[in-house]
């Protein structure tokens, strides 16, 4: 089941990435080796402090996909309230209990992009940056993110 | 709305205070017990029935189908009051939020929902598995998936006990949808899980901790529990299968030990019992100085390194006796064993300070353990007591009611032994002194009475049992009295402030 579905996803992804504007910030999404390990690259949205950065996301697809969600992780460092700065682990409900088989690798990637612009500081993995956001210090929040983006995410891919 | 419906809405503050339809509801099982804890007994099946009854009533009130109401209530975690409040405020908002309406979907309306069938020539291509299938299921949102994928999806979701939604959007699946897809009664599994969650989430409910018992107890004065525990009272409840347990600890009845003593004792046993087990199985104590000795080979002629006492490993008697009559100790000598036991016990009291605490613990742990094992044996005996009753009836020709003394005595014995067992835990935490002496005297009395009744149960001859009815009754009465005395003595000991935790 998983192979057939992944095959179909693979075919539609290339088309969707080149054809539509919807996925303009997804640079690439393709399998590395077999169909069960993928690598995606996203670009920071232009109206955000993540602008100009690019991040690599390592995707591991379980054998019982799409019943179980894929595992996604940032490879290069990203400073964001819901991403673990050290490990790159992402705290996103659809990657855990809110996952349904109707999500695809591509839609999950765009969900991660939405998370970049729309952080959820109440369930943080990076407490320091969350505190900045919660206290309302947007200037410091944006500044710190810009700093880390330039340090770790320029020419990173 | 009729009068009755109004009455229902007023009653709905407690989910189970339903008093209208008691003809098909087993009211005798849910009688309110008045003790220090007021509680009701439930079974899972009864809970299901009551919940279904609630749904039927609510569906009349709201004028909506039964299935629909089940989903509503399930999303509201069975809080019908809140549901009615919200629903009366803005029904459309509730429906939208719970996925019971498709208004959000641009007013799209899909016909032919439910089970769909296709032909080989024009099969259905499922989005999830990307295979061509002949059977699928469509919800009113228009999203359609093959039955196999839907089943796998449902199996995963049923465990979470929440309302199941369409894989693609927020539209909820009704119990009818679930049953059609799963082909079995998947919705009742979901409902059961939902009840489980309900019970676990609400502090007023507790599952009976006895193995294989799925009875539920609902405490009506749950706000008093904390106070009861603080004042060393034990909130004991009895489930509908007759198991006694402490509502606070969710553990078997531990009268007379208060909850905090129980907790500490259980932790201590968990920590130390492994060590204790090793020591008791691998070592023996020198009969003279009580040093633990591990024998790692060699003959049975032991010489204690500490006190140079020479003794026999098998009978722990002095070696002098073994010189001429070798291995006489294989014959069990009752008096000798008794004496050895006694002298060992006496010596334990004069132990050195460091070993004292462990030995003291060992002493009580062993007693506790012995009675725990005995309780199990008693239990298996009590399980067959009904058979014995029948045998006595048939063998001696007395009536069922006359033979009931056996059942009563059996439960008296079980309860008393449990009290005795837990009194050892209390004793362990007591300071030495007059109060403990008194406590242990009462305890010894109780132990005596327990063994006396237990001995009567050893009789297997039905005629003798019938003849000894009076003995059974007397022994039970004595046991009950002593049990009460034990509980009182514990209270007094605790009130005296001799408890050291």
Q: Encode pLDDT of B330-388 as tens digits.
A: 555 566 666 666 666 665 554 455 566 777 888 888 888 888 888 888 888 777 888 88
Can you give the pLDDT at residue B267? Answer: 82
> Would you call B128 and A7 a contact, using CB atoms and an 8 Å cutoff?
no
Neighbour count for residue B226 (Cβ, 10 Å): 11
Beta-sheet pairing, B205-207 with B292-294: unpaired
> Would you call A102 and B128 a contact, using CB atoms and an 8 Å cutoff?
yes
Is the pLDDT confidence value at B127 over 80?
Answer: yes
Q: Clarify whether residues B440 and B306 are in a common domain.
A: yes
Give catalytic status of residue B299 as yes or no: yes
pLDDT tens readout for residues B17-69: 444 333 333 434 444 555 678 888 888 888 888 888 888 888 888 888 888 88
Can you give the pLDDT at residue A60? Answer: 93
Can you give the pLDDT at residue B21? Answer: 39
Does residue B106 belong to any structural domain of this protein? no
Q: Clarify whether residues B436 and B329 are in a common domain.
A: yes
Can you give the pLDDT at residue B272? Answer: 67
Chain B residue numbers with beta carbons less than 8 Å from the beta carbon of A66 are 128
pLDDT tens readout for residues B422-441: 999 888 888 888 888 888 89
Average pLDDT over residues A35-59: 91
Q: Catalytic amino acids of A?
A: 91
Does residue B66 belong to any structural domain of this protein? no
Question: In percent, how much of chain B has pLDDT > 70?
Answer: 80
Nearest CA-CA distance, residue A153 and chain B, Å: 34
Can you give the pLDDT at residue A133? Answer: 86
Q: Clarify whether residues B287 and B399 are in a common domain.
A: yes
Residue A34 pLDDT class (50, 70, 90 cuts):
confident
pLDDT tens readout for residues A119-143: 887 777 888 888 888 888 899 999 9
Q: Clarify whether residues B146 and B269 are in a common domain.
A: no
Kindly report the backbone phi and psi dihedral angles of residue B430, in degrees, each rounded to the nearest multiple of 5, phi listed first: -95, 145
Q: Clarify whether residues B345 and B474 are in a common domain.
A: yes
Provide the residue range defining the domain that includes B173: 114-191
CB B162 within 8 A of CB B77: no
Residue with tokens 């514990």: B490
Average pLDDT, chain B: 78
Residue B11 pLDDT class (50, 70, 90 cuts):
very low
Q: Of B148, B165, B191, which one is at a domain's C-terminal end?
A: B191
Can you give the pLDDT at residue A106? Answer: 92
pLDDT tens readout for residues B237-254: 888 888 889 988 888 888
Chain B residue numbers with beta carbons less than 8 Å from the beta carbon of A8 are 130
Nearest to B147 by CA among B108, B186, B121: B186
How many structural domains does chain B have? 2
Is the pLDDT confidence value at B10 over 70?
Answer: no
d(CA A138, CA A135): 8
What's B473's DSSP letter?
H
In chain A, the residue whose alpha carbon lies closest to the alpha carbon of B148 is: A1
CB B414 within 8 A of CB B382: yes
Q: Clarify whether residues B186 and B271 are in a common domain.
A: no
Beta-sheet pairing, B132-133 with B124-125: antiparallel
Does residue B3 belong to any structural domain of this protein? no
Domains in chain A, ordered, with CATH?
Answer: 2-152 (3.10.110.10)
Can you give the pLDDT at residue A156? Answer: 67
Return the CATH number at B398: 1.20.120.1750
Can you give the pLDDT at residue B273? Answer: 60
Please list, in sequence order, all residues whose beta carbon lies within 8 angstroms of the beta carbon of residue B313, skipping any fewer than 6 positions away.
B284, B295, B300, B301, B302
Q: Clarify whether residues B288 and B414 are in a common domain.
A: yes
Joined together, the tokens standing for residue B169 give 């959007």
User: What is the SS3 assignment for B382?
Assistant: helix
Q: Clarify whether residues B367 and B462 are in a common domain.
A: yes
d(CA B51, CA B45): 10
Can you give the pLDDT at residue B221? Answer: 85
Can you give the pLDDT at residue A40? Answer: 93
Does residue B230 belong to any structural domain of this protein? no
């Amino acid at each position: 089941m998983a192979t057939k579905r992944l095959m179909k996803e693979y075919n539609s992804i290339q088309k969707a990435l080149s054809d539509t504007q919807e996925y303009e910030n997804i640079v690439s999404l393709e399998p590395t080796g077999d169909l069960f390990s993928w690598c995606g690259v996203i670009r920071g949205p232009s109206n955000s402090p993540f602008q100009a950065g690019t991040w690599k996301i390592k995707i591991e697809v379980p054998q019982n996909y799409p019943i179980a969600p894929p595992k996604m992780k940032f490879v290069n460092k990203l400073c964001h309230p819901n991403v673990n700065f050290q490990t790159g682990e992402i705290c996103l409900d659809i990657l855990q209990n809110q996952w349904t088989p109707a999500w695809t690798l591509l839609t999950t990637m765009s969900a991660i992009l939405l998370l970049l612009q729309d952080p959820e500081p109440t369930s943080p993995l990076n407490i320091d940056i969350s505190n900045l956001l919660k206290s309302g210090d947007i200037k410091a929040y944006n500044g710190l993110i810009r700093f880390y983006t330039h340090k770790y995410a320029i020419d990173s891919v | 709305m009729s009068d009755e419906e109004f009455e229902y809405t007023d009653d709905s503050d407690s989910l189970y205070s339903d008093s209208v339809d008691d003809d098909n509801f087993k009211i005798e099982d849910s009688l309110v017990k008045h003790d220090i804890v007021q509680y009701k007994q439930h079974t899972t099946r009864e809970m299901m029935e009551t919940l279904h009854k609630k749904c039927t009533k609510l569906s009349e009130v709201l004028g909506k189908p039964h299935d629909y109401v089940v989903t509503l209530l399930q999303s509201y975690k069975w809080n019908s009051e809140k549901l009615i409040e919200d629903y009366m405020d803005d029904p459309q908002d509730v429906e939208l939020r719970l996925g019971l309406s498709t208004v959000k979907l641009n007013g799209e309306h899909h016909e032919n929902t439910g089970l769909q069938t296709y032909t080989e020539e024009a099969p259905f291509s499922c989005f999830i598995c990307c295979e061509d299938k002949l059977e699928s299921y469509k919800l009113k949102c228009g999203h359609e998936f093959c039955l196999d994928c839907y089943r796998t999806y449902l199996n995963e979701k049923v465990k979470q006990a929440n309302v199941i939604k369409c894989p693609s959007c927020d539209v909820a699946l009704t119990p009818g949808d679930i049953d059609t897809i799963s082909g079995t009664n998947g919705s009742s599994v979901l409902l059961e899980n939902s009840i489980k969650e309900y019970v676990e989430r609400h502090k007023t409910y507790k599952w009976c901790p006895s193995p294989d018992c799925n009875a539920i107890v609902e405490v009506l004065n749950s706000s008093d529990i904390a106070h009861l525990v603080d004042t060393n009272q034990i909130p004991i409840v009895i489930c509908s299968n007759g198991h006694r347990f402490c509502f606070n600890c969710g553990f078997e009845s531990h009268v007379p030990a208060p909850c905090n003593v129980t907790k500490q004792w259980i932790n201590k046993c968990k920590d130390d019992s492994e060590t204790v087990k090793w020591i008791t199985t691998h070592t023996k104590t020198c009969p003279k100085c009580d040093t633990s000795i591990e024998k790692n080979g060699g003959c049975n002629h032991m010489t204690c390194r500490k006190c140079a006492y020479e003794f026999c490993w098998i009978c722990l008697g002095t070696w002098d006796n073994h010189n001429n009559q070798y291995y006489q100790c294989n014959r069990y000598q009752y008096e000798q064993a008794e004496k050895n036991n006694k002298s060992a016990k006496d010596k334990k009291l004069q132990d050195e300070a460091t070993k004292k605490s462990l030995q003291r613990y060992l002493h009580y742990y062993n007693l506790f353990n012995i009675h725990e094992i005995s309780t199990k044996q008693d239990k298996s005996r009590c399980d067959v007591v009904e058979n014995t009753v029948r045998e006595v009836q048939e063998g001696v020709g007395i009536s069922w009611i006359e033979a009931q003394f056996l059942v009563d005595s059996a439960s008296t014995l079980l309860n008393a032994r449990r009290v005795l067992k837990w009194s050892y835990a209390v004793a362990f935490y007591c300071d030495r002194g007059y109060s403990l002496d008194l406590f242990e005297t009462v305890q010894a009395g109780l132990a005596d009475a327990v063994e006396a009744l237990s001995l009567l149960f050893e009789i297997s001859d039905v005629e003798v049992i019938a003849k000894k009815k009076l003995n059974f009754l007397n022994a039970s009465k004595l046991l009950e009295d002593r049990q009460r005395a034990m509980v009182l003595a514990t209270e007094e000991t605790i009130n005296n402030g001799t408890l050291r935790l």
